[in-house]
Chain A
Amino acid sequence: MMGVIIKVRRLFGLAPFEHDSDHWKSQRSSAIALFILGYWFVYQLLFFINDASITDIQQWMAQPLNSVLLALTVLYTFYHSELGLQVITEDYIESKSTQITILYLVRTIRLFVIVLTFISLMRI
């Protein structure tokens, strides 16, 4: 049970930055989830969103399955991105304080984006 809770907190950006094997495993599992969600979104772009009107897209977005998958896509995109950007800053930026500043900036944007997505999807 504890394992599930920490995983959900990590997905929502409500857990501390991960390191070592936790980071390694999360980067892989989020990659697999995001692969599926990403290609689902590309499929929707090509076969639906592409030539739909705004009203059509609003209706599409209001469907429970689509809004859940969109929310998951945003959650996993910014989870996976943060894990990746963490590795890149650690590899290429020498100053520890700059690394931390960038990570907190990325985390802040991530939380903002998650809140924006959820209030938007709940409103529609």
Chain B
Amino acid sequence: MTKETRPLSPHLSVYRWQVTNTLSIIHRLSGVTLYFGSLLLPLWIAAIAYDASFGQVMFSLISHPLSKFPLIGLTFAFFYHSLNGIRHLLWDIGKGFEPNQVRNSGIAVVVMSLLMTSIFWWMI
């Protein structure tokens, strides 16, 4: 295969770390996390539909204390990615682009998603 001559996106190491690019990379990381976590959803649906005993096994796996940390990470990824997604959609329609707005909305998203993750685990 011939080597592509198109440029590759600049790699993470060339940037100075600040709020904006950190949150941007967390958006991607949380997206990838959610992808792997989402694979649980169809497996769970199949377990419930096909075999209650397998469903039970999945239940005990999910409710095992050791599963708690990855699941907390997954819920944080969900809240972060969905809230930060609103930020991205607002930028797409040209809103919130001033440097201080970008920074403040980013901090708001982090605070909100931490809060929502805590409330979720407090309620469940």
Contact = CB atoms under 8 A, between A and B. Distances in A.
Question: Are A and B bound to each other?
Answer: yes
Interface in B47-106: 48-50, 52, 55-56, 59, 78, 82, 85-86, 88-89, 92
Given A54-B56, A94-B8, A113 B78 contact: no
B50 A120 contact: yes
Interface residues of B, number: 34
Contact of B35 (A54, A84, A114): A84
Given A31-B85, A45-B124, A91-B9, A78 B38 contact: yes
Contact of A117 (B34, B45, B52, B92): B45
Q: Say what secondary structure dominates the interface of chain A.
A: helix
Given A57-B48, A91-B9, A81 B38 contact: yes
B52 A74 contact: no
Contact of A46 (B82, B86, B88, B124): B124
A28 B48 contact: no
Given A74-B41, A85-B35, A88-B32, A32 B89 contact: yes
Interface in B1-55: 1, 4, 8-9, 11, 28, 31-32, 34-35, 38-39, 41-43, 45-46, 48-50, 52, 55
A42 interface: yes
Nearest to B52: A54
Contact of B49 (A74, A77, A120): A120
A61 B48 contact: yes
B120 A42 contact: yes
B4 A120 contact: no
B124 to A, nearest CB: 5
B49 A58 contact: yes
A58 B45 contact: no
A58 B22 CA distance: 42
A38 B31 CA distance: 13
Contacts of A121: 45, 49
Contacts of A50: 123-124
A28 B49 contact: no
Interface of A: 28, 31-32, 35, 38-39, 42, 45-46, 50, 54-55, 57-58, 61, 70, 73-74, 77-78, 81, 84-85, 88, 90-92, 94, 96-97, 109, 113-114, 116-117, 120-121, 123-124
Q: List the 4 shortest-distance A-B pairs measured between CB atoms, nearest first.
A: A120-B49, A91-B9, A124-B49, A81-B35
